[in-house]
Structure formats: structure tokens, C-alpha cells
Chains A and B, each alone.
Chain A
Amino acid sequence: MNKSLLSIVMLFLVSIAAYPGYTGAETLSLLTWKGYAPKVLVDKFETETGIRVNVTYTNNEEMIAKLRATRGAGFDLAQPSQDRISSVQKKYRIYQAMDIRKIDTAQIIPSMLASVKKNTSVGGEFHAVPFCWGTSGLVVNRKIAPDALDYSDLLNDKYTGRISYRLKRPTLIGLAFAMGKDPFSLYNDTDAYKALMEEVGQAMIAAKPLVKNYWTNGDALLQSMRSGEVHLAMAWDNGGWKLHAENPDIDFVAPKSGALGWIDTFALPAKAKNIDAAYQWINFMLRPQNAATFTNLERAPTASAGANQHMDAVVRANFDRSFPQAVIDNIKWYPPVPSKLEGIEGMILDKVKASR
């Protein structure tokens, strides 16, 4: 009698101890980008489901590194870009396949769902569904730099000391397109890709004196543009739109050689604990009202099918202004990145940073 009572208590204690982060309520650990889990939506989700949301902000590279270090444990849901999933998955197995039956597919724009499914499929199974999308292009102070139209202007000495971009792969790719090349078509020809990237790297080194700084933090870049320290930057469209709302002189400009289109997704880490909560969050975030709330806050359109009608007029105006149909057609969507390219790019970016 006594013994069995004791063992029940022990079992209870052990089960508490074994459950990390036990707080009495169910939790969802979310590994995502800054702004992707706005407080209003987190609160709404909590009241709706009773599930608490723990958010960790990061970027693509760190997301992969974190999940790789734990072999896919520690988080219930991650939001990598669609092009950074398949090769990583092949190599490190950090994600698990998505169960399409648990996802409210009616809420998702079919073409986007299909493309993400295709791009993230490894071994016949797909590993992500789309959440939002956007482009990288130029954010320009049009009053001072009305002629800045393409990535090549990032290397234009007209803007000496007023240029800022990241030392990350989109910069290399954008500049390659501006040189009239198509880096995506070389993804599977490592040597040719390397040669192209080296050419781009040389151009960046030559233009290094023109750069004010290589930005690393989006908020810091916006501050530099706002204060007039930077007139021309390579950045995300939504950042440009945010600044446009404050100062109409500043706006996002889709480069002539094509804005770089990315889609951020939902993906389940291999050892996610609370998969149910993860699916609930996915369906919750793609619900038209919620997706629109997100877009209104962050200016980034989503894959949610019915969100348009809930969007603010300003947000739609941004869109109409920056993305006429011809521009949309010209967007260069990132295809999945084969492994090895990151190493090549990293070396070139290090060389750019180290050069004098």
C-alpha cells in the first residue's frame, strides 16, 4: 500500500523533472525572426488555446546552427527560409516531415504551398509550409539618390560614405545579377559559381571605400537611414516601407535586375516536443485576420489566402507602389541552396571584410 503510494509520488516527481521548462501550462517553443510573433497575436493565441509561447529570435544561419547543435531538439517550431532547408536536412536531419492533414491548406495560397513543398522535399517528404514572403532590394533616400536603381549602385562612387549593406549571401547574389549574370543557374556548377562569386568579391573589395558600414542589425540600419547617415542600402522591402511611412523621401526600390524573393516557412524540428501546439500555431498564424494583423505590423505579405481584405490601405499602397506586375514578374526567387556554397561565400565575404 504504502510502497505503491510512494512509487506514484516518485513517478510524478520524475515526470516533472523530465519535462523541461515545466510551468504547469502547455508551452510552445518558437525559433523565429524578430517581428514574426507580435505580442498581440501571441496573447490572442494564448487566450484561445491556453498554450504559452516562448519566442527566441534569430536568423537563418543561427537557426540552423542551433538546431544542428541539438540535433533538432529544444524547439517545437522553427521558421527558416525555404531555400535553406533541403540541403541542411539532407546533411543533418534536423527537421521532421510535415503532416499535411494537420494543416488547414484552404488558408494557404496554393501556388506558394506547392512551391515550398517542392523546394523543401527530401526523400519524398516535404518539410515546410510557407508563412510570409518578401524581397531584398534597395532602400533609397530618393531625394538625395534619385538615380539609384540597381544593386550596382551599391558600388557607385556617387554615394561614397553613404552606402550600407550586409556581408551576407544576398548581397553577393544581388550584385551578381546586376552584373548581368544568373548565379542561381550556377548553383549546381560549383566551380563556375565560385568564379562568379570571386568576381563579385573583387568588385566589393574595390568598392569598399565607398561603404559606410556593413550592417548587421536591421533596426540599426533603419536608424542610420532615418538620421541621414546612409542614403542607399540593400535591405528588405518591409524595412523600406516602414521608413516611407515616417519620411516619404525614403522608400523601397525593387532593383532593375530583380528583387530577390524569399519565403519564410514553418518547419518542425526533428525532436520537437509539442507538435500539436506547433500545428495550432501554424493554422492560427495563417488565419486571414491574424495574417493581416501581422502584415499590417511588419509590412510583410503572407501566404494566407484571404488576408488581403483585412490589410490596411497603407500596406496595400506600399505594395502597389513598389510592385507593379512587371516588377513582380522580375522577382528572382531563391532556389534551394546546395551545400558547399555557404563555405565558398563565407570565404569571399571574410576576404571582403579583411581587405583594406
Chain B
Amino acid sequence: MTQHRKWGLFFFLTPVLLWLTLLIVLPHIDLLRMSFILETDTGETEWRLSNYASFFKEPIYWLTFVRTAIYSIIVTLLTLVVALPVSFFITKVARPGTRGFLMLLILLPFWVSELVRVYGWMILLRESGVINHFLLKLGILDQPVEMLYNDAAMILGLVYTSMLFMVVPLVSVLESLDDSLIEAAYDLGADMGTIVFKIIVPHATPGIVSGAIVVFMLTLGNYLTPNLMGGKNSLWFTEQIYNQFIASFNWNQGAAFGFLLLLLSSGIVWLGLKLSGQTLGKVVR
């Protein structure tokens, strides 16, 4: 009996461990090793922390990280602000028949690649784009305006790309919210704002936090959208990692940046969990 159990455990654990080591741990070990290596002019290698040090020494590096992190937080919050009413509408207002259809509408953009999605937005927003065309036609504008290549456009694109990852956990957590809690609050004298902040948000907190973690990480790790929609001022930290690897051929620096991104973003997530009084276990569940 116990023997059987042991075998069963072994049977299920093996693929998990294999997966963890082969696909997650091993590739990172080499990168980790690389991040501590300094290549001298003569092509020799030395073990140094200088790749990490240069992140803090060069303002451009850590400023870019700070900028990326702040924008990712803004995007996460905006995504939440947009996704909460949408999820509420899907779960509580829409009839069960339309519910599936609405979820499909949210899912639909994710059937094409991010590149196509971004180009879609670019076609809409660019100076010679669809929106400008209509605004000119309607006489609202007499000169086309460039709506792309600024922070607002970049945030718009990032929020759009992140929507699904916020809506799905919110929908599932709001589905478990008993309608009568909302009605009870209303009956006890609450207005809409109070209902949202005292009932809906506290109930949805685990979903909000797990959605926020996913959106934050995805946004922080995004490359295409900031690069294509953000335009000339949109240096994103991932782009800097890419540049280290690809343009400067400095893999060691790139690897160090990669680990710093991992560490710093984990730190921000940890801080977020602390501030919202959640634990990772609760959120994942």
C-alpha cells in the first residue's frame, strides 16, 4: 500500500522535476554563470560583479528600469480599472447566453500574434490612419494629428494586450461573488462607490492580485508594444537587454540585466503582495 503510494508519487513527480530542471533551472544556470563573467579586451574572462555594478553605476540603465517598472505599474492599474467593470458586466449584468459571446470577444484578439495586434493599433492611430481619416472627414480636425509614438499610445497598447490576463481571473473570482452581498450592501444604504470598494474589490482581491501579477510581469517583459507604439522615447528595459545581447554582443551584461529584471520585479511583486495583505499561496489558489 505505502509502496504503491511511493511509486505513484514518484511517477507523478518525475516529469515535474524533469520539467523544472530541464526547462527552467538549467538554462538559467548558464545565464547566471555568464552574468558574473567579465570579458577583458584581450578576450580573457574573469569572475566579477562588474556587470551588476554597471547597472547601478550607469544612470541610463537603472533609470530605464525605474521607468519601465513605473509604467508597468501604471499599466497594471489601468488594466484593472478597465477590466473590473468589464468583468463585472460579464459576470453579473450580461445574460448567461451573451456571457460566452463577450468572453469570446475578449479572447478574439489573442488568436493573432501580438505583432498583428500592434500593427492593427498602428493602422488605427497613425497620422495617415483610420481614426484621423474619419475625424478629418467629419470635420472635427482640419489637420491630421499623430496619435502614435507617445506614452499614451504605448500605454493603450499595453493595456489592450494585458486585458485578457486581468479579465479571466476577475471573471472567475466575481463569479463566486454572491449577488445578494451586493444587494445587501445596497439595502443597508451603500451607494455604488461603497459597494465597489467595500464589497466587490475586497472579495475580488485574490483575483485582482493574481491578475495584477501576471499583467505586471507581462508588461515588464514586453518588447514589441513599447518599441513599436511608444516611439522615440519608449526605451523599455527588455529592449536594453536585447540591445546588450544583440547589438553590443555583450551577453554577460545582458544576462546580468536579465537576472536583475527577475530579482527587481520579484521584489516589486513581493511588495505588492505585502501591501495588499495577500500571500502567493492564496492568490494562486
Whether, in the assembled complex, B127 has its beta carbon less than 8 Å from a beta carbon of chain A, the answer is yes
B106 to chain A, nearest CB (A): 28
CB atoms of A212 and B149 under 8 A apart:
yes
CB atoms of A342 and B248 under 8 A apart:
yes
Whether A354 touches B235, Cβ cut-off 8 Å, given contacts A229-B128, A343-B248, is yes
A350–B240 Cα gap in the complex (Å)?
A: 7
Overall SS of chain B's interface: helix
CB atoms of A353 and B43 under 8 A apart:
no
Whether, in the assembled complex, B46 has its beta carbon less than 8 Å from a beta carbon of chain A, the answer is no
CB atoms of A356 and B41 under 8 A apart:
no
Whether A213 touches B60, Cβ cut-off 8 Å, given contacts A346-B243, A346-B244, is no
Contacts of B250 in A (CB 8 A): 343, 346
Whether, in the assembled complex, A61 has its beta carbon less than 8 Å from a beta carbon of chain B, the answer is yes
Whether A211 touches B247, Cβ cut-off 8 Å, given contacts A229-B126, A354-B63, is no
Whether, in the assembled complex, A170 has its beta carbon less than 8 Å from a beta carbon of chain B, the answer is no
A64–B250 Cα gap in the complex (Å)?
A: 12
CB atoms of B146 and A161 under 8 A apart:
yes
- B21-77 residues with Cβ-Cβ distance < 8 A to A are 41, 43, 58, 60, 63-64, 67
Whether A211 touches B127, Cβ cut-off 8 Å, given contacts A91-B43, A346-B247, is no
Contacts of A287 in B (CB 8 A): none
Proximity bits, A222-243, B CB within 8 Å = 1, else 0: 0000011100000000000000
Nearest neighbor of B240 in chain A, beta-carbon distance: A350
B119 to chain A, nearest CB (A): 9
Nearest neighbor of B249 in chain A, beta-carbon distance: A342
How many residues in B have their beta carbons less than 8 Å from beta carbons of A? 31
A36–B233 Cα gap in the complex (Å)?
A: 32
Whether, in the assembled complex, B227 has its beta carbon less than 8 Å from a beta carbon of chain A, the answer is yes
Whether, in the assembled complex, B246 has its beta carbon less than 8 Å from a beta carbon of chain A, the answer is yes
Whether A61 touches B146, Cβ cut-off 8 Å, given contacts A214-B232, A340-B41, A354-B60, is no
CB atoms of B41 and A213 under 8 A apart:
no
A346–B60 Cα gap in the complex (Å)?
A: 12
Whether A61 touches B232, Cβ cut-off 8 Å, given contacts A227-B128, A229-B128, A354-B63, is no
CB pairs A–B below 8 angstroms (28 shown): A61-B246, A65-B246, A65-B249, A211-B232, A212-B146, A213-B231, A213-B232, A214-B231, A214-B232, A216-B228, A227-B127, A227-B128, A229-B146, A339-B249, A342-B248, A346-B247, A347-B58, A349-B247, A350-B60, A350-B243, A351-B60, A353-B232, A353-B235, A353-B239, A354-B60, A354-B63, A354-B64, A354-B67
**Residues on A close to B: CB < 8 A?**
61-62, 64-65, 68, 88, 91, 161, 168, 208, 211-214, 216, 227-229, 339-340, 342-343, 345-347, 349-351, 353-354, 356
Q: A346-B248, A353-B239 are in contact. List 15 more A-B contacts (CB 8 A).
A: A65-B245, A65-B249, A161-B146, A208-B232, A213-B148, A213-B231, A229-B146, A342-B248, A346-B243, A347-B58, A350-B235, A351-B60, A354-B60, A354-B63, A354-B235
